[in-house]
Amino acid sequence: MAMNTSFFAMIHRMRYINRWGLMRNTELENIQEHSHDVAVIAHLLAIVRKMKFSDGRVCPDPLFVATLALYHDLPEIITGDLPKPLKYHNRPMETTYKEIEREASEVLLAMLPDDLACEYRKFLLPDTDDVVVSEALNLVKAADCFSAYIKCLDEQKVGNREFERAKVEVGGRLDAFRLPEVDWFKENALPAYAKSLDEINFDFNLK
């Protein structure tokens, strides 16, 4: 028997949840756009690890990593994007918010038929005790930081000083990962994000 589901209609509403709520933005960014950026970067980080830095390391499937990234902010459809100073104000606050996010994920999963919910559970409520999943989540976290850093660059390019401190803080979080694939992205991909379209085209035409 067919069963209706609201799950995908809820995902469609990610576009209505804006990020950086306490900051003055020259251009709004919603969690749908952000999730796409994180998925693209996380996918690349997983590929770079697998191709260039795999010796003695767990290498999660890049497609699995990308899918985790695509859904990593799904609970915010229900919770909204809580500003980080509040979300991480203290350990009890952080613990409580994580539980709220878990409950929000359960609510979303309940919108699916049981057979589909089983397939999506590993992305909305990943098993952090699994070593491969844990490594995949770490790559998603790094990609999440890169997305935030790139947002800071975008705002700086148009003269908005509101994101200067955020850029320093996010840059520090990126340094703390100490992952070769993160360093690879910093060196090879990140610089182009600070360029204008004309500068990118000029670089391309020189090759």
All residue ranges of the chain with pLDDT < 70 are 1-2, 85-89, 203-207
Q: Exposed, middle or buried, 123 (CB in 10 Å: 0-12/13-18/19+)?
A: middle
Identify the CATH homologous superfamily for domain 7-15+27-196. Hypothetical protein af1432 (1.10.3210.10)
Convert the pLDDT of each residue in 59-80 to its tens digit: 999 999 999 999 999 999 999 8
Where exactly are the structural domains of the chain? Answer: 7-15+27-196
Q: What is the pTM of this model?
A: 0.91
